[in-house]
C-alpha cells in the first residue's frame, strides 16, 4: 500500500467504513511508515478536539449587526461610483468623436481575397487543354493520353488516329 492510497483511506478508516481486511492493511501500513503514522495520529487528535469542543450559538444580535455592516459597506462602495460630469464628460465625448473620425478616414488595411475560381467539368478541361495545342500529357485515371487538335477542323484527334495518318 502506498502513502497516497493510505491517506485517501484515513477518513473511511477512522469512521469505521472499511472492511476488516482493508482496515487491517491501513493499520499495518501505519505501523511500518512513520510519516503515515504521524498523519493518522494527527487526524485522530483533530477529531478528538472537535468532539470535545463546545457548540456555542452566536448571540441573537450577531446576524442583524453583520447584515447591517454589509449593507453599510455596500452603500459606501456604490456611492463612490459617479458619472463623469463637466470637463471630464466633455473630454471623453471629444475623444470618442476623434477616434471614430480617424477610423472612418483611414483606409482599411484588410485585404479582400477574390472568391475561388469555379471548378470546371472534366470535358471542359480536356477541350481547353486541346485548344491550347499543347503536347504535354493529360492524365486520366493513371493512363497517359495525348490530346491534339486538328488545325484544319479544330476537332480533337486522338494519338491513335494520328499514327494512322
User: CA-to-CA distance for 32 and 19, rounded, in angstroms?
Assistant: 20
- SS3 call for 16: coil
What's residue 79's pLDDT?
66
User: CA-to-CA distance for 162 and 165, rounded, in angstroms?
Assistant: 5
What's residue 152's pLDDT?
58
Band of pLDDT at residue 142, cut at 50, 70 and 90 = very low
What's residue 133's pLDDT?
61
The domains of the chain are located at 3-52, 122-164
User: CA-to-CA distance for 28 and 132, rounded, in angstroms?
Assistant: 90
- Residue 148's alpha-carbon distances to 33, 123, 143, 152, 159, in angstroms, are 89, 14, 16, 12, 7
Residue of higher predicted confidence among 37 and 114:
37
Q: State the pairing for strand pair 138-140/147-149.
A: unpaired
Band of pLDDT at residue 85, cut at 50, 70 and 90 = low
145: pLDDT strictly greater than 50: no
Amino acid at each position: 500500500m502506498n502513502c497516497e492510497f493510505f491517506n485517501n483511506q484515513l477518513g473511511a478508516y477512522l469512521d469505521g467504513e472499511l472492511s476488516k481486511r482493508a482496515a487491517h492493511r491501513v493499520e499495518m501500513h501505519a505501523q511500518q511508515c512513520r510519516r503515515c503514522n504521524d498523519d493518522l495520529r494527527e487526524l485522530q487528535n483533530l477529531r478528538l478536539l472537535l468532539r470535545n469542543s463546545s457548540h456555542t450559538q452566536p448571540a441573537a444580535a450577531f446576524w442583524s449587526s453583520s447584515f447591517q455592516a454589509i449593507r453599510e459597506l455596500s452603500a459606501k462602495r456604490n456611492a463612490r461610483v459617479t458619472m463623469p460630469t463637466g470637463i471630464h464628460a466633455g473630454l471623453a465625448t471629444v475623444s470618442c468623436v476623434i477616434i471614430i473620425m480617424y477610423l472612418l478616414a483611414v483606409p482599411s488595411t484588410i485585404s479582400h481575397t477574390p472568391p475561388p475560381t469555379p471548378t470546371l467539368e472534366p470535358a471542359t478541361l480536356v477541350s481547353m487543354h486541346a485548344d491550347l495545342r499543347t503536347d504535354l500529357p493529360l492524365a486520366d485515371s493513371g493512363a497517359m493520353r495525348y490530346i491534339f487538335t486538328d488545325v484544319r477542323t479544330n476537332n480533337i484527334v486522338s494519338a491513335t488516329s494520328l499514327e494512322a495518318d
